[in-house]
Amino acid sequence: MARTGRPRTFDRDAAVEQAMKLFWARGFEPTTLADLRAALGDLSAASFYAAFGSKEALFSECLALYMRTCGELTDCLRQPDLSHRDAMCSLLHRAIRVQTAPDKPSGCMAVLSGLNCFGGNGAVAKEVAEARRLTREAIAECVRDGQAAGELPADTDGAALTLVLDTFLKGVAVQARDGIDAEQLHRSAELLMQLWWPTPESPNEAQGTVD
């Protein structure tokens, strides 16, 4: 007989984490309510709605969890013991490590999960777009601060450099999903950072700057 209720040992936090991985791997629209109920221990529809409210509400929780954990990469940009350049290097390399980790879905949930939302799911698309905007703003602030600190020429086009760095960061999500080797991505990040005045340290130093 099919199970019709909530599992006796239902752990809501663990369920949100499991749902996050499902949305991360498949995206919002391709992930069906049936997929979620099955992944969360064959929840009945009534139990699912009682626990989470709706698929959209669960996605919001999952995206928030992702941004607090796997997606919270920009905190390294505020490390007082790092130069702005090293902080940016650390951000790029940390993103590559997270998005190519074998124990997690590849790519970035904030980049990939809401790109194919249509019709009545415009709110989901706006939510993930806001998450991406916050990352872009953090990069812009780092560039501005680096320029003010003399790490970049005074005539640097900060907006253009921000867009280049942000485009690379978001492109990592697609390349990781396509199976591009992590080491290739790390080398590409080092090449990209040559746009920022190079430092005399070894080119791989920034990969281990912040875990």
Higher per-residue pLDDT: 209 or 124: 124
Do residue 56 and residue 87 come from a single domain? no
Structure confidence at residue 58 (pLDDT): 96
Domain hosting 84: range is 73-206
pLDDT value at position 91? Answer: 94
* Structure tokens, 208: 């281990």
Is 3 within a domain? no
For the cut 70, the answer to whether the pLDDT of residue 172 exceeds it is: yes
Q: For 11, how many CA atoms within 13 A lie in the half-sphere containing its CB?
A: 4
Question: What pLDDT sits at residue 199?
Answer: 52
> In the predicted model, is pLDDT for residue 207 greater than 60?
no
Q: Which two tokens stand for residue 206?
A: 């920034």
What the block records as the tokens of 49 is 């709605």
- Please provide the DSSP assignment of 54-122 as one string: SHHHHHHHHHHHHHHTTT--GGGGG-TTS-HHHHHHHHHHHHHHHHT-TTS-SS-HHHHTTTT--GGGH
If pLDDT is split at 50, 70 and 90, which confidence band does 211 have? Answer: very low
Mean predicted lDDT score pLDDT of the chain: 87
* Nearest C-alpha neighbor of 28 from the set 66, 68, 75: 66
Report the distance separating Cα 120 and Cα 115, nearest Å: 14
Does the pLDDT at position 92 exceed 90? yes
The total domain count for the chain is 2
Residues 189, 134 share a domain: yes
At 206 the pLDDT is 44
Domain final position from 26, 42, 66: 66
The verdict on 129 and 195 lying in the same domain is yes
In whole angstroms, what is the distance from residue 112 CA to residue 200 CA?
Answer: 36
Query: What tokens does 66 get?
Result: 């992702």
150 and 94 in a single domain? The answer is yes
- Mean pLDDT of the 92-99 span: 95
pLDDT value of position 69? 86
Q: Is the pLDDT of residue 73 over 90?
A: no
pLDDT score at 5: 54
78 versus 84: the higher-pLDDT residue is 84
First to last CA, the chain: 47
User: For position 16, which CATH number holds?
Assistant: 1.10.10.60
- 22 domain residue, yes or no: yes
**What letters, b where the CB count within 10 A reaches 16 and e where it falls short, cover 42-60?**
ebeeebbeebbeebeebbb
Q: Note the pLDDT tens digit of each residue in 135-167.
A: 999 999 999 999 999 999 888 999 999 999 999
Task: Give tens-digit pLDDT for 194-204.
Answer: 999 755 443 44
pLDDT of residue 7: 55
Q: Read off the pLDDT of residues 110-132 as tens digits, 9 standing for 90 and up.
A: 999 887 766 677 888 899 999 99
pLDDT at 210: 37
Is residue 26 scored above 90 in pLDDT?
A: yes
Q: Could you tell me which of 195, 43, 193, 174 has the C-alpha nearest to residue 110?
A: 174
> What's the pLDDT score for residue 6?
55
